[in-house]
Structures are given as C-alpha cells and as structure tokens.
Amino acid sequence: MKMTQTLRWYGPNDPVSLMDVRQAGATGIVNALHHIPNGDIWSVQEIQKRKDEIETAGLSWDVVESLPVHEKIKTRTADFQQIIENYKVSMQNLASCGIYVICYNFMPILDWTRTRLDMPLDNGSLALEFNASELRVFDLQILKREGAEKDYSSAEVEQAKRKFKNLSLSGIQRISDNVLKGLPGSEEVYSMEDFNAMLDTYKGIDGDQLRSHLVQFLEEIIPLAESLGIRMCIHPDDPPFTLLGLPRVVSTMEDYQHIFDQVPPLSNGITFCTGSLGVRSDNDLPAIFDAFADRVHFLHLRSTKRDAQGNFFEADHLSGDVDMFEIITRVIKEQRRRASEKREDTSIPMRPDHGHQMLDDLLKPKINPGYSAIGRLRGLAELRGLEWGINKMI
C-alpha cells in the first residue's frame, strides 16, 4: 500500500507548472485559493475552476492547504461568529466538489517563520534557516516589542544589541522581510505598524486562552466535517515554540492529546509534519505518530537539523534529526491496518516539503523559497525509493 504522492502548487502564478509536477512523478496536488481574502467564502465556482485546471493537467486536487483560520476566530473578537459560518460554507462547497481533506493551522498572526531563505550548504545548494539570535534581534531591536526583554535572559538581550549594531541595512531588511512579509502559503503580509497593531489584539490571550479558542472552533466545525465526510487536519506550529510573545498551542503530543480529548471524532485529525515537530528534541516523532495514527490525514515529510541554541535549517529529506525510515515504516503499517478495516482513507496523501534550491533553480529569476522544483523532486524521489524498499521488506 503506497502513500498518495502529491506536491504543493501555488496556482497559475507558480513558477513550477502542473506539467512539472507530473514529470516529478506526483499524482496529486495540494492547493489553496490564495486570491480569496481570509474569512471570505470559497465559492463552488472558484473551487471548481481550480479543480478543473488541475484535472485537465492529468492530476487530482487531493488536499486543501490551507483553508485559513481568520485571526478574529483565534482571538474570538468582532464578527468572528460570521467568519466561522463563512468557513462552514467553504467546507460545504469543497465537499460538493469532491475535495475532502483540509489542512489548516492555528498559529497566531504569523504562519511558518524563517529568518533566512538562502542559507548556503556545503554542496552549494540553498536552504531555509531559522536563527534564534536573529529572531531576538528582530523582536528586541527592530520591532521593539513592548515587554520583550522579559522573555529573554540578560545575556540574550545584550547579544541582540551587539548583533544589531553589526548588521548591515540589507541584513536588517532581510530579517524584517522574512518575518513580516511571509513565506509561500503564509496567510497575511504585514507592515511593522500592522504587525504591532495585531500584537495588541493578543494582549491577555495566553496559551490556555488560545487553546480554549481552538477547541471552541473545533466544536463548531467538526460535527459538520463528520456529516460531509471531510477530514480536517491541523498542522503543528512552525517552529513549535513561542515566538514574539505569542502563544503556540499545537507543538507537542500533549497539545494534540488535549485537542482530541476535547473533540474526539476522527474527522478532527492531524497533518503529521515531521519537520515542524522534529525541531523540538523533546518530541518523540514515532511515539506521536503511534498515538494518533488513526487520525493522521496528511503527511508533510521533511527533515530539519537543530542545535542546542534553538537554531535549525532544512536538511536533506533523509538526513537531519528525523528518522524517516522509522516514520515511513509506521505509515505503511497504518495504511495496511486501514486497508484491513476497509477504510476509505487507506492511502494517506503525502508531500515532500521544503526542498533545497539547487542546480538550474539557482539561476531562475523567480522561485518560491522552499518550493523550487528540483529540490522537491529530489525529496520525492528519495521518499518514494525509501517507501518502495520498506514495502518490499515488511
């Protein structure tokens, strides 16, 4: 039993074409309607238009990533209830078009965060990097967040001051752009003023409060998902720890256990992202998979390499801190178990995530960082080969 092989595609303006995806050997597409503002309804017409485009290229739209959760839902402010109703209508419209897997996240304000998009590796390719000291420079010296000093040691505060003094204007701009302007798939782009205003909306919202808001959101949408046959799969925080004073509530096994204890139906599931979860040394990835295997509805397979200072970068798919052999072995066993139970979701969709920029992609004028063609093709080929070998072995 094989995983369903997909690649993320950002729509008609993506420099990686649907034909490129087919040539890479994937059969499915992970996609979202990024042109529709957060909180608005995805109409049947817009969904079907995108689905037709994908299917005309000989592929299938297997996963929505993401159907964004508006900030007003996370903070439960203003007209959040109407926005939840809009979200439900979008779910209904997706199901009516035959799309049943929806990935989403509940990260406050920022989506996935990196401080550098072109970290050079020894072989000349480029990787995404999160540098904790640069994030502190942004927080303390560029953003100058109110009360930020309380979140760091005196040594870290002094280090940030020294590092900031030694940064060039282009270095300061790079860090600011990468944090505020978002990365591929990010839900919003912020100016410094907008971001500070957004931070104010989270005053008084700690981890417990945000977790409560997530559960209340799930209590509203999961019964509908159950009735429609939709599998909702929440993506872990990336990175899986507090940033800029904002709480993170989907970072550990305990976080997931709380969500599923409160809202038990299997439609309430997980996007098992090995890279995000693997950034924390206290996350036991095989144990997390085993605990929630029956509700893993989507797989992001990538590996990160971390250090003791809180830094990490995107490693090759079969190296880094993730034991990909162990994870894919578990995935295969879970798929076989589902097949024995005649579940409809026997083949779990996966995608190789955050490939390196390499070879000809180094010369292209436009790429989506982490989503260039060749690095992901390499990752998909490696993962496909590993899966083939494990299936032969067990």
Query: How far is residue 390's CA from residue 262's CA, in Å, rounded to a whole number?
Result: 36
Please state, in angstroms and as integers, the Cα–Cα distance from residue 250 to each residue in 20, 101, 237, 306, following that order: 33, 19, 6, 19
Query: How far is residue 15's CA from residue 361's CA, in Å, rounded to a whole number?
Result: 10
* 373 contact partners, CB below 8 Å, separation of at least 6: 15, 16, 20, 24, 361
Sort strands 101-104 and 60-65 into parallel, antiparallel or unpaired.
Answer: parallel
Query: How far is residue 177's CA from residue 263's CA, in Å, rounded to a whole number?
Result: 37
Q: 190, 202, 256, 371: which one is catalytic?
A: 371
* 382 contact partners, CB below 8 Å, separation of at least 6: 316, 317, 318, 352
| Catalytic annotation present for 194 | no
Handedness of CA 177, 178, 183, 186 (dihedral sign): negative
Q: 104, 354, 356, 361: which one is catalytic?
A: 354
| Catalytic annotation present for 200 | no
| Catalytic annotation present for 307 | no
Residue 217, H or E segment: helix 207-228
| Catalytic annotation present for 34 | no
Q: 70, 213, 297, 300: which one is catalytic?
A: 300
| Catalytic annotation present for 97 | no
Give the largest Cα separation in the chain, rounded: 62
Q: 62, 353, 356, 361: which one is catalytic?
A: 353
Please state, in angstroms and as integers, the Cα–Cα distance from residue 348 to each residue in 2, 75, 334, following that order: 8, 32, 9
Task: Identify whether 212 is preceded by a cis peptide bond (ω within 30 of 0).
Answer: no
Handedness of CA 202, 206, 209, 210 (dihedral sign): positive
Spatial contact of 271 and 300, defined as CB atoms under 8 Å apart: yes
Compute φ and ψ for 136, nearest 5 degrees.
Answer: -65, -40
Q: How many CB atoms lie within 10 A of CB 168?
A: 8
Spatial contact of 254 and 262, defined as CB atoms under 8 Å apart: no
| Catalytic annotation present for 273 | yes
Q: 235, 297, 317, 356: which one is catalytic?
A: 235
Q: 273, 297, 317, 321: which one is catalytic?
A: 273
Residue numbers annotated as active site: 235, 273, 300, 353-354, 371
